[in-house]
Amino acid sequence: MMQQHDDEQFEKWLQRAAQSYHSPVPTPRAAMWQRIEVERARRAARRVVELRPWLRWTLAAAAVLALGIGIGRWTAQHGTVARGGTPVASADTAGNRDVVYQVAATQYLSRTESFLTGFRADLRAGRGDTRFMGQARDLLTTTRLLLDSPVADDPRMRGLLEDLELVLVQISQLPAARNSHDTDLITQGMDQRSVLPKLRSAIPAGPVPVRTQGAT
């Protein structure tokens, strides 16, 4: 009887005292939700690529082909013409490939800069519609292609592409009934990582050599 009473006393005391064990801090709801959305989008994108490798290669091939045609047209207009009127093809295939990637990267960076600048301006003006989400998804596809290309061999470019990937995922995942907090988190993230200044400094001076359909 005495032992049972003692046990009960101990259990009551223990339950009270143990409340201090790993006492939780307030739940960081918004921060965790944001990371959950980004991680889910990342995993979903990875699954699509893993399940459909042909899609990845088709997109890459199509992008390079389109750029190749664009460069061909551009050089046909501005390039060297051999005696007899036949255009001269360059013998430096690797050099051509690098040019294609550089052109693709430059064009992508210009489009993304225009897009993010417009996105921020619209937010400041209290606008912002669902077309941004579609554009962000388009740019996200190109971002991931470039991350897998030789362009991303440059650590600075890779860092920039990864920052842009994160921002574009966030924009593409914005809920239809978003509030200012959702968009504030995106703009704060852009500011903290100086995304726009880094993006602008990565775009070479002068006109973008090739423009394809859908460029904004």
Partner 1 sequence: MDERDLINRVRAGDGIAERALYDAHVDRVYRLAYRLAGDDALAQDFTQETFIRAFERLGTFRGDSALSTWLHAITTTVVLNGLRKVKRFRQREADLEAADGVSGGPRNAEPDLKARLTRAIDALPRGYRTVFVMHDIEGYTHEEIGVALGVETGTSKAQLSRARTKLRESLADFAGEWVT
Residues that bind partner 1 (CB under 8 A): 6, 9-15, 17-22, 24-25, 27-29, 31-33, 35-36, 39-40, 43, 175-177
Query: Long-range CB contacts (< 8 A, 24+ apart) of 25-31?
Result: 30/181, 30/185
CB of 34 to partner 1, least distance (A): 10
Contact of 100 with 68, CB cutoff 8 Å: yes
In the bound complex, what is the minimum distance in angstroms from residue 29's beta carbon to partner 1?
6
Q: Which CB sits closer to partner 1, 15 or 80?
A: 15
How many CA within 13 A on the CB side of residue 51?
A: 6
Which ranges in 18-52 belong to alpha helices (H)?
29-51
Nearer CB in complex with partner 1: 39/184: 39
Closest CB to partner 1 among 133 and 208?
133
Smallest separation, CB 43 to partner 1 (Å): 7
**C-beta of 92 vs 184, nearer to partner 1:** 184
> Considering the complex, what minimum distance in angstroms separates the CB of residue 171 from partner 1?
14
Q: Which is nearer to partner 1, 3 or 86 (CB)?
A: 3
Query: CA of 116: how far to CAs of 49, 91, 138, 216, in Å?
Result: 25, 39, 13, 11
Shortest distance, position 26 Cβ to partner 1, whole Å: 9
Nearest CA among 186, 182, 146 for reference residue 162? 146
Locate the DSSP E strands across the chain.
Answer: none
Determine the Cα–Cα distance for residues 164 and 52; give it in Å rounded to an integer.
24
